[in-house]
Structure formats: C-alpha cells, structure tokens
Amino acid sequence: MLLLIFIFQFSFYWQKRSSFDKEQLLFGPDLEMQRRLDSMKSQKQEPILIKPFNPNFISDFKGYILGMSPTEIDRLHSFRETGEYLNSKEDFQRVTQVSDSLLAAIDPYFKFPQWKTQTKRSAKKVNQSDADPDVVVSTVRLDLNHAKAEDLIRIRGVGKVLSERILKFRDALGGFLSDEQLNDVYGLDREVVQRILREFTVVSAPEIQPIDIHEASTDELARLVYISNQLAHRIVRFRDSVGELKSLEELTKIQDFPSDRFNRIKLYLTL
C-alpha cells in the first residue's frame, strides 16, 4: 500500500512540473521578436519629411505631426473662423502661442500666399519714341473712398471682418479726409495700413463744414467720431474757461484728450 501511495504522489508531482514548464514556454518572452525590436531601436530614425505648406490651413493631424499641442491648434482654428488670415510667422506665433523653438523648427516650411499688392502701368517718358526701351513704371492707386469690401480683401492681412470694419468706419466719418485716418480703424496694425495705402489713397475727399470750436455745442462736438460725450463736455468747459482759443492746439491741454489723433480731429474743427 505504501508503494502505491509513493508511485501515485510521484506521478502527480511529475505531471504538475511538466505543465508548469509548458506554461513558461507559452507565456515567456519571444526572444526573436525582442531581438528585432532591439535592432530597430539601435537604428537611426529617419526624420519626417515636411513639404512647404500654408499655415492658415493646418488640420488637427498636420498640427500633431508638426508637434503642436491641441490647445495651439484650437487657437489657430478659432482665429481662422473669424475670416482672417495669417500673413507671417510672427502672426502664427501670436495667434497659436507656440514656443520659439517649435516656430524655428517649422517656419522654414511656411508658404504664405503671394497676394497682389500693387497695380502698375507703364508710362513712357515725354517726347520719347515708342522704340525707346527706357520706361517709367508708376503705381496707380485706387480711391479709398470708393473701395468695396472685395477690393480691400485682396490686401494681405485684410479679411472679411477688417474690410467691413473699414467701410463702417468710413461711413461713420462720411468719407476719409486723409490716408492717415486708416490708423484709427480698430484692429488694423501699421504694416497692414501701409499695404493698403500701396494700392489705395484718398482721391476724392468729401466736402465738410468744419465746426466752429467757439460756437459748437456739446451735442455738435459729440457727433464727431473722434469725440465722446464726456470729451465734448470737457472741451466746452475748457473753451468757456479760457474765453477764446488762440489755436486748436490748445485743445491738447484738456484732460484725456487724444493727442495722438489731433491731426485728424482738427480736420473737422475751425476757430
């Protein structure tokens, strides 16, 4: 009986050990696969090939490939939904807020659209024959007071929103009196203004009746785009306190007077 018990226990132990060895073989590491992975890691990874692209149209996937975060991509898409466009790498960083290092890595691949910024015509010098190759190239600028939204959108940096804003500001003025007044349109930076003025200028300024600063009421002054109700009250109080203004420049002494816009404001005033 003892012999049978010993044989039975030995058989059970041997069967259990054989099963454990098989499980080790089944769930153990794949040495061949591990060798291949180690080989791939040791090889130099090829860089991703990036072709020139317009950064105005970066998709979620493209942004991920470039190394942009989801937040940076969302900022770009939100900006584009306003109808405006990026026109430089500085615009791209300002909108997306990407780091300097990422910008330096991807901006060589930026390809912004080439906008037509000038309309030119050739005019030959007076008293020269048609065969004379010497030609004077002059720039023809269109009337800013007759420009339409679709005309302004052609300018790099002016989208639908800004073009409509320019027209509304022009209507509020009753027409531009000087090119300088473009600087007063909200959202237009100096570079965009300069690009607009390469193609447009005030050709036909509207006829206006300047307001006599000595006779004007608060309401009359407040009708001007540049003068708020509060400023109009201050102007009237200042005028009454000094009695008579010797020059319009004296208005710049008034508290919170927009001195940087004085050259435009004085177009609508007289002594």
pLDDT of residue 23: 46
Segments of the chain assigned to CATH 1.10.150.320: 142-201, 211-270
User: 208-232 in b/e burial notation, b at 16+ Cβ within 10 A?
Assistant: eeebebeebebeebbebebbeeebb
Residue 78 has pLDDT above 50, yes or no: yes
- 34-68 pLDDT, tens digit per residue, is 666 566 555 544 445 567 888 888 888 788 888 89
In CATH terms, 211-270 corresponds, of 3.30.470.10, 1.10.150.320, 3.30.2310.20, 1.10.10.10, to: 1.10.150.320
Q: Which CATH architecture has domain 142-201?
A: Orthogonal Bundle (1.10)
Mean pLDDT across the chain = 77
Between CA 129 and CA 115 the distance in angstroms is 34
- Look at residue 31 in the predicted model and tell me its pLDDT: 62
Task: Determine the pLDDT at residue 10.
Answer: 62
Structure-block tokens of residue 137:
């190239």
198 near 117, Cβ under 8 Å? yes
Predicted local confidence at residue 166, as pLDDT: 92
- Is the Cβ–Cβ distance between 265 and 226 less than 8 Å? yes
Nearest to 265 by CA among 217, 205, 211: 211
DSSP conformation letters of 56-90? GG--HHHHHHHT--HHHHHHHHHHHTTT----SHH
Average pLDDT over residues 138-161: 83
The pTM for the full model equals 0.48
When pLDDT is cut at 50, 70 and 90, the band that residue 168 belongs to is very high
9 vs 147: which has the higher pLDDT:
147
Beta carbons of 50 and 106 less than 8 angstroms apart: yes
Are 213 and 234 contacting, i.e. CB atoms less than 8 angstroms apart?
no
Q: For the segment 176-219, what is each residue's pLDDT rounded down to a tens digit? A: 988 889 988 988 888 889 989 888 888 888 888 888 888 888 88
**Rounded Cα gap, residues 221 and 254, in angstroms:** 15
Residue 98 one-letter amino acid: V
Q: Which of the pair, 130 or 57, is modelled with greater confidence?
A: 57
> Is the CB of residue 51 less than 8 Å from the CB of residue 64?
no
Q: How far apart are CA 12 and CA 216, in angstroms?
A: 115
Residue 260 pLDDT greater than 80, yes or no: yes
In whole angstroms, what separates CA 260 from the centre of its chain?
25
Report whether pLDDT(243) > 60.
Answer: yes
Residue with more model confidence, 131 or 34: 34
Tokens of 144: 């800013």
Mean pLDDT of 216-241: 88
244: Cβ contacts below 8 Å, ≥ 6 apart: 214
- The percent of residues in the chain predicted with pLDDT above 90, rounded, is 4
Buried b (16+ CB within 10 A) or exposed e, 119-137: eeeeeeeeeeeeeeeeeee
- Bridge partner list, 211: 269
- pLDDT score of 43: 52
Which position has the higher pLDDT, 62 or 134? 62
Q: Is the pLDDT reported for residue 221 higher than 70?
A: yes
At 37 the pLDDT is 56
- Calculated CA dihedral for residues 6, 8, 9, 14, nearest 10 degrees: 120
Output 212 or 138, whichever has higher pLDDT. Answer: 212
**Long-range residue pairs from 249-252, CB within 8 A, at least 24 positions apart, any chain:** 251/213
The phi, psi pair for 142, rounded to 5°, reads: -85, 160
- Kindly tell me if the per-residue pLDDT of 87 is higher than 50: yes
| pLDDT tens sequence across 94-126 | 899 989 888 888 888 888 765 433 333 333 333
